[in-house]
Structure 1
Amino acid sequence: MQLSHNEENDFSLTRFESMLKTNDVLFFDSNEFENIIHFYLENGKIALAKKAVKLGLSQHPGSVNLKLLKIEILVFEDKLDMAERLLDEIYDLETSNEEVYIQKANILSKKDQHSEAIDMLKHALEITYDEADVYSLLGMEYLFLEDFENAKQNFIKCLEADEEDYSSLYNVMYCFDFLEQKNGAIEFLNNFLDRNPYCEVGWHQLGKQYFDLKNYKKALAAFDFAIISDDYFIGAYLEKGKVLEKLGRYNEAIENYKITLDLDDPTSFAYLRIGKCYEKLGNDDLALKNYRQTVHEDPLLDKGWIAITDFFYKKGNYQKALYYINKAINIDGENVLYWKRYARINNKLQQLEEAERGYRRSLELGNYELETWIKRCDILIDLGEFEAAVQNLLQAVEFYPETAEIEYRFAGLYFMLHEAEKGYFHLNNALKMDYEYYIIIEELFPSIFARKSIKDKIRTHLKSCS
């Protein structure tokens, strides 16, 4: 375990951990304690950091920096009142210590008092030697306020102070994206890359901007520069593969996706894209092999199960498609995309009860598309479940009022249920909305369409419209 490359700090850490094991009490100066605590905090070892703070303050009770580290831990643990009391003790005495203002800002931020936190950070900015850190904190506070323009400007200032702060670079791009400032993002990145020509993250972000604008030639060049800057940058290979797919260069896309499999642990995304490419190339065996590898690598990735199900569905192999969508549903029975496919496949297999179940489950899971209501209604009609079909449409019409496809079905169903008055009411509504859709009655309710009174009604309306 190493604190840093500094052997003296490494020795301090070793001595401290040895002291904890033996219960011996050794003396450390306050700087040693600070380094030990920082190490534990950076590595998420809060319990050890708290022990170091306690021992440090017992040996150096007047150390402001150790008290500030204690406050940092209290804030992390949401013990805000205790943190604030301790901070108040040193606040008036340490007006030139930026860390006092930063910790005060942290407490205010935790209390959702972000404007007040910003004021504290602005005080810190006036006296700090580490502007990058304060600008980053200011950016985060503005994000909490959803003030994306000010957040963006502060993250940019953070990068000007520390051009290797990639987390701020990502935050800048997040703000540009939220503000939908594509051209501004590209201009910023090009200026940034003029100063940092080997910044792989900058090239990667520039490529993504061009990709979103469908400028695939420039996107490809940007991802190539990202790879030149860091030939182990998996994200750049994946994005380059996506661009090559868009350009129809599927074999090259496959090569880039395969590189990522060698660089690190294989990802389900890479296998999925390789499968898609092979499918486009007409190599069904390799497409299927990679789709199966996708769901093996990540059984929770719905795109994998959807890809393999759709593969067999397009081939007309509905039994195989049903087999895979059933496996998917067994893993995640709350996925509406699975249930929609389950319904569609069973419909193709003329397993109407199961198809109806699939559409019903889709609706229960919040898929309120018009097509889902209509498909379920038509299956209920085929099953002779006219009352259930009416109830289905009564729910549908709440989402899609004045919809001809619903009104024609209402008309046919009420006629089938011998409620002629309601039937004519909805038929009139339907004809006024879209008279060309009257074929719905002909297709779904042939016995009703065969009635002379219905034909006369439709014929009369058609004449009035001509």
Structure 2
Amino acid sequence: MVDDFKNDDNVLEVVERFEQMLENDEQHFFDVQVYEMVITYYRQENKIKQALQVCNIASHQYPFSMELLLEKAHLLTHLDKYNQALELVEKISTFQPTDYDTLFLKANIYVQLGNYQEAIDVYGFLLKFASEKDELLYNIGYTYQSMGFYDKAIAFYKKALKHNLNNEAAVLELAYCLDITGNLEDGLEYYKKFIDENPYSFLAWYHLGMTYAKLGNMTDALNAYEYSTLIKDDFAPGYIEIGNIYITLSRYDEAQKAFETALLHETFSADLYCKLAYTFELKKEYYAAITHYKEAMEVDKLWDDAWFRAGLCLFSLNKYYESLHYFRKATQINGINENYWLAIADAEFAMGNILSSLDAYEEASNLAPDNPIVWLKWATTMYDHGYIDKATEVVLDALDECPENAEIHYRAVAYLISTGKYKQAFNLLENALILDFDKHTMLFDFFSDLETQKALYQIIDQYKTL
């Protein structure tokens, strides 16, 4: 039985008839074009396994169709079955040794398998025949980048852009390689020259802005970003970076306007809603900030930063119980961020739950033992509530994890003196003075008696001229 759907424009009807055939365990013969139509539908729906099933059935009926074999190879790569895909490509190559699509896929598979030089050889061979070379040049650059040869990658990305200045991927990866190699000044000159030749490339202006920003030149960065949005007025990334710079410059109203403009063109972005909310938070308009953080949660309920920052706003409003709910939600989503546990500790402490607060500090220290802020806040809470021996243990443990932190040394000195362990304290004081002499003044916040201050000065004076 032959079903010919060549003239049937209703793709859904074609797919439905095919699925009925499978459901009824029947075997019909379709034209190759019909199979391709069904395969394309499944691919667009991201139903790769179903597409592969159709491809297998079609290949049995049309075993010599190179198009179907190539399609099957593509589908296998989507399922990360690169070796199987390569076998099919090699088979096709015996019949079509110079077919561009087949060789291009082969090179892509080589990249995924880590056979980088083989991939570069194939891309290079295709360059001889390609009329539009930018994609091949970009792929060669990306392969070199995957090998860690960033300078070679940069050279090929530049070549790709000479052929097609609108190759967004090449602009993006070029910027990454210039950044990772520290060639920011070179990148600056490149983008300037590129813009001289292509003044309406919004991407070039955008990455020029990124380069200026990384070099700390915020004024020129802002100008470059503004040019990118003038050229392409719906370019959300440009507005976002403008907003980021205004935040850096403490111009929060202007940052707010930039993020609001970006949202006109990138509505479903939890991160962008958080950026907008942050401008209100910085202006201490906490209720407005919470509203926008909640919008971020609506877009992505697992966006932990939105829960965390909404909690901070509630904490600033002295709504400690409510803030604790948000902080705990953040840890449920991302339990390895020590800042979330520090926030829980602060909220518990504010409500008078000292033991729960200390437990949260301990959790934070386990997650980030090299973060001195965690140890210092933990120790301070215990010391201020009379747990001086425990506070001393904490700062001494902190010294093992943060041996180069002067403030922890000085805090350990203060606590040891408070517990009468003068010899150990003065030994640590010498280390603290060597690490950062200027911070020694914090010791006198702990001791007002002249005898202790005199003993401290006798040691401190020895290091004044060192």
Q: What letter matches 1:169 in structure 2?
A: V
Post-superposition shift, 1:174?
2.2
Among 403, 409, 413, the residue aligned to 1:401: 403
> CA contact under 8 A between 2:315 and 2:323: conserved in structure 1?
no
Give the Cα separation in 2 of the matches to 1:399 and 1:229: 51
Post-superposition shift, 1:231?
2.9
1:175 alignment partner in structure 2: 177
> CA contact under 8 A between 2:314 and 2:322: conserved in structure 1?
no
Post-superposition shift, 1:27?
5.1
Post-superposition shift, 1:398?
1.5
2:294 alignment partner in structure 1: 295
Trace 1:107-126 onto structure 2 (pairs within 5 A). Answer: 107-126=109-128
**What TM-score, normalized to structure 1?**
0.76
Give the Cα separation in 2 of the matches to 1:265 and 1:415: 58
> CA contact under 8 A between 1:438 and 1:458: conserved in structure 2?
no
Give the Cα separation in 2 of the matches to 1:213 and 1:463: 41
Give the Cα separation in 1 of the matches to 2:321 and 2:204: 45
Trace 1:334-345 onto structure 2 (pairs within 5 A). Answer: 334=335, 335-344=337-346
Give the Cα separation in 2 of the matches to 1:13 and 1:54: 20
Residues 1:64 and 2:62 are matched in the alignment: no
Among 201, 210, 216, the residue aligned to 1:208: 210
Post-superposition shift, 1:389?
3.4
Residues 1:138 and 2:137 are matched in the alignment: no
Q: What letter matches 1:158 in structure 2?
A: A
1:328 alignment partner in structure 2: 327
Give the Cα separation in 2 of the matches to 1:375 and 1:18: 64
Give the Cα separation in 2 of the matches to 1:357 and 1:304: 24
1:28 alignment partner in structure 2: 31
Q: What letter matches 1:17 in structure 2?
A: V
- Of stretches 157-166 and 303-312 in structure 1, the one that deviates more from structure 2 is 303-312
> CA contact under 8 A between 1:152 and 1:176: conserved in structure 2?
yes
Cα 1:406–1:238 shift into 2, 3 Å: closer
Q: What letter matches 1:259 in structure 2?
A: T
> CA contact under 8 A between 1:19 and 1:25: conserved in structure 2?
no
Trace 1:283-432 onto structure 2 (pairs within 5 A). Answer: 284-285=284-285, 287-298=286-297, 300-301=302-303, 303-305=305-307, 307-308=309-310, 310=312, 319-321=318-320, 323-333=322-332, 334=335, 335-344=337-346, 352-401=354-403, 406=408, 423-431=422-430
Give the Cα separation in 2 of the matches to 1:194 and 1:404: 51
Cα 1:80–1:214 shift into 2, 3 Å: closer
1:286-306 per-position Cα deviation (integer Å, ceiling 9, x unaligned): x53133321343255455455
Cα 1:290–1:270 shift into 2, 3 Å: farther
> CA contact under 8 A between 1:240 and 1:253: conserved in structure 2?
yes
> CA contact under 8 A between 2:274 and 2:293: conserved in structure 1?
yes
Q: Sequence identity, in percent?
A: 21
- Structure 1 unmatched ranges of 5 or more: 1-7
> CA contact under 8 A between 2:444 and 2:453: conserved in structure 1?
no
1:24-81 per-position Cα deviation (integer Å, ceiling 9, x unaligned): 745535x776676566546534245324533543454333343233223233333344
> CA contact under 8 A between 2:188 and 2:211: conserved in structure 1?
yes
2:168 alignment partner in structure 1: 166
> CA contact under 8 A between 1:412 and 1:441: conserved in structure 2?
yes
The alignment partner of 1:332 has SS state of helix
1:149-169 per-position Cα deviation (integer Å, ceiling 9, x unaligned): 222333333334444432333
Among 79, 87, 93, the residue aligned to 1:77: 79
1:417-454 per-position Cα deviation (integer Å, ceiling 9, x unaligned): 77x6xx424423424643887777776588xx79x7x6
1:5 alignment partner in structure 2: none
Cα 1:409–1:229 shift into 2, 3 Å: closer
Post-superposition shift, 1:265?
2.9
1:150 alignment partner in structure 2: 152
Give the Cα separation in 2 of the matches to 1:403 and 1:60: 72
**What TM-score, normalized to structure 2?**
0.76
Post-superposition shift, 1:310?
5.0
- Of stretches 371-380 and 52-61 in structure 1, the one that deviates more from structure 2 is 52-61
Among 12, 15, 18, the residue aligned to 1:17: 15
1:86 alignment partner in structure 2: 88
- Structure 2 unmatched ranges of 5 or more: 1-5, 22-26
Q: What letter matches 2:319 in structure 1?
A: K
Trace 1:130-279 onto structure 2 (pairs within 5 A). Answer: 130-193=132-195, 196-246=198-248, 250-263=252-265, 265=267, 267-278=269-280
Cα 1:39–1:208 shift into 2, 3 Å: farther
Give the Cα separation in 1 of the matches to 2:264 and 2:255: 15
Give the Cα separation in 2 of the matches to 1:261 and 1:117: 40
The alignment partner of 1:232 has SS state of coil
1:227-260 per-position Cα deviation (integer Å, ceiling 9, x unaligned): 3433333333333333444556544443333334
Give the Cα separation in 1 of the matches to 2:30 and 2:431: 92
2:3 alignment partner in structure 1: none
1:65-106 per-position Cα deviation (integer Å, ceiling 9, x unaligned): 432332232333333443344344344453322344334333
Post-superposition shift, 1:363?
0.6
